[in-house]
Structure 1
Amino acid sequence: MSGEYEIDGWDDEDATEAAVKTLVNTSKRATEERRSAADQDMAERIKKAVEAARPGLDKIPDPVEPSGDGDLTPEEEERLAACVEGVELLSTAYWVAGKSLDTIAVGRLFRRLPHKLEPTRCYTTIEEWAGVEHGIKQSRCSKLRAGWELGEVLNASGYTAPEGQVRELVPLKNRHGLKAALGVYQLVVEAVGADKVTAERIRETVRLLPGDLALSDDDDPQVIAHVLHDAIEAAEPAEPKPSAALSTELKRDVDRRAVALADRLDRGRIDRQEVLGHLLAAFADESDNRVFDAVFERMKKAS
């Protein structure tokens, strides 16, 4: 007996190759399992992120009575934050709807949609489709379509511009381009702060621009901003003319009090001019400041 064992079918080279294949296969399986687990984890994270970003009524807390008159509780702060986010979605929703309407209109994507009330024919205009299917009036449809592009640019620039503010800039955008409209909005932001921008402030700024303003969307944004700034600086704001006209309500109240005055004086009638004359005389009387002081207090409250 030689002292060595011989086993049929077993060879060092074969054994080595088999071991290597086993290790490789095991490594591949492990890699695939790790990749699969990572993919599942990523898919779950994406799903959660999408769900968190999804707007919806189910994410808005139901109305409840306040906990008290003092500071908001942590639960109320959380409820407020969720509701503020919901309100801020409105500015984006306008332009999502406007862009959708414009895309449907330009591509005439409604042309093969059966009319809801007359199924034998299809819609012929975007206004007809929007009105019948979604209750959007023609004027509303036009405003949404006209404003979405500027709304999108403002949103991309970091501004949350409500529909009313954008609407004030649409005529300017139509005349001078998107960059000019964006430039005006930025000027207002720089002048009053982003949190104090209103449609009225934008309207006043646009009014200051001269009618012969020459701008082009081909111009550099800094050039446009400089031109706009100089144009507004050079503008002479029109001083509102003081109105001496009395409102209908004030006339009625004066006449009523004049009748009471006439009764106390046992007179037939006292007209407004006579009352005004006595008021002015009493106002100018430096020896008796009662009327002067009363006028002062009323003007201080009105300012």
Structure 2
Amino acid sequence: MTERNFDLGWGDEEEPETTADTLTAVDTGRDEKQQQAQAKLIADQVAAAVEEVRPGLDKIPDPVEPAGEGELTDEELERLELCNQGIELHKTAWFMAGKALDTVATGRLFRQTPHRLEPDRFYKTIEEWAEVEKGISVSKCNQWRAAWPIGEVLMARGFDANPGQVRELVPVKNVYGLNAAVAVYVLVADTWGKDKVTAKRLEETRKLMPGDLKLEDDEDPDILAKTIKGVLLGELPASAPSIPPAVTQAVDRRAVDLANVFNRSRIPRSEVQLRLLEAFADPKDTTVYDAVLERMKKEEQAAKKAARKALK
């Protein structure tokens, strides 16, 4: 009997490597399947999360009669919550639409869109594009574009402003600027409470503002709110003597110098004015008061001298 008669068929010298390759391939295939399963699981979770937060009319319950006259059932409470979410979404969507319209208008992004009714030409204005393409009237288009910056700032400041409230602030923004519009909301919130702000109260406050009211459009809304309150209570004049442009420019230059000293990007003119008033009223250090007094004396003497000269 030879060695060959006892060959059990385990393979030749190359066989161990072949076995190892087979095991490696099996492990690799298993890893790939695990990775694919993990990827699918993640994709399903993401899809579920997206679906949960996706807005849509289909997520609002259909109208049905009440379950009874007493307390709301668990099902009714759930329906109410879904409806509240839909109404809350309307506020954000309103501001989003206004911002989107403003972005399209500012960049004239409609300029190469063929007119739906006259395909041989492009749209010429944002109002035309919004009305024909989106069914948004000219008045609403302009209203939404003017309102969204107010809504964005109020939401960033933690106020729960709705479109009706913001609409009452648009006239203030048009006359005095964005900060003044926000200031009116701040004033009403400070007076009655954040949860007691209504469009009616904003309208009444806006209508009380005198026609000759002068406001600095670069002042902080909180400071402007105090100024408006002072005017409405009769504690501050509606308009201060006009400041010559040369003086305003000089103040701004000195404010830049102050900002450089304190390594700040800018110092608002309102802050400079506040510091000047504090220094002027300081009973322990009368430097500013004395300087103002001396300047006013010189101006009065010069005025009297000019009057006497005119009489001669």
| TM-score clears 0.5 | yes
Secondary structure in 2 matching 1:195: helix
Change (3 A) 1:224 1:136: closer
What residue in structure 2 maps to residue 82 of structure 1? 82
Please give the TM-score of this superposition, normalised by the length of structure 1: 0.63
1:27-42 pair list within 5 angstroms: 28-42=28-42
Secondary structure in 1 matching 2:201: helix
Distance in structure 1 (CA, Å) of the matches to 2:18 and 2:170: 75
What residue in structure 2 maps to residue 95 of structure 1? 95
Distance in structure 1 (CA, Å) of the matches to 2:185 and 2:31: 54
What residue in structure 2 maps to residue 138 of structure 1? 138
Q: Deviations over 1:15-35 (max 9, x none)?
A: 4x7777666655554444333
What residue in structure 2 maps to residue 212 of structure 1? 214
Change (3 A) 1:63 1:20: same
Change (3 A) 1:177 1:30: farther
Contact 2:188 2:202 in 1 (8 A): yes
Q: In percent, how many aligned pairs have the same letter? A: 48
Q: Between Structure 1 and Structure 2, whose CA radius of gyration is higher? A: 1
Secondary structure in 2 matching 1:235: helix
Distance in structure 1 (CA, Å) of the matches to 2:29 and 2:157: 48
Contact 1:104 1:110 in 2 (8 A): yes
Q: Deviations over 1:244-296 (max 9, x none)?
A: xxxxxxxxxxxxxxxxxxxxxxxxxxxxxxxxxxxxxxxxxxxxxxxxxxxxx
Please give the TM-score of this superposition, normalised by the length of structure 2: 0.61
Distance in structure 2 (CA, Å) of the matches to 1:132 and 1:56: 24
Shift of 1:234: 2.4
Distance in structure 1 (CA, Å) of the matches to 2:36 and 2:183: 50
What residue in structure 2 maps to residue 10 of structure 1? 13
Shift of 1:130: 1.3
Q: Which runs of 5+ in 1 are unaligned?
A: 239-303
Change (3 A) 1:69 1:144: same
Shift of 1:106: 1.6
What residue in structure 2 maps to residue 115 of structure 1? 115
Q: Which runs of 5+ in 2 are unaligned?
A: 235-312
What residue in structure 2 maps to residue 231 of structure 1? 227
What residue in structure 2 maps to residue 160 of structure 1? 160
Contact 2:187 2:226 in 1 (8 A): no
Distance in structure 2 (CA, Å) of the matches to 1:156 and 1:30: 50
> Which residue type is aligned with residue 107 of structure 1?
G
Distance in structure 1 (CA, Å) of the matches to 2:174 and 2:24: 67
Q: Deviations over 1:124-145 (max 9, x none)?
A: 1111111122332212111111
Secondary structure in 2 matching 1:63: coil
Change (3 A) 1:176 1:30: farther
Distance in structure 1 (CA, Å) of the matches to 2:36 and 2:157: 39
Shift of 1:178: 4.4
How many residues are matched? 228
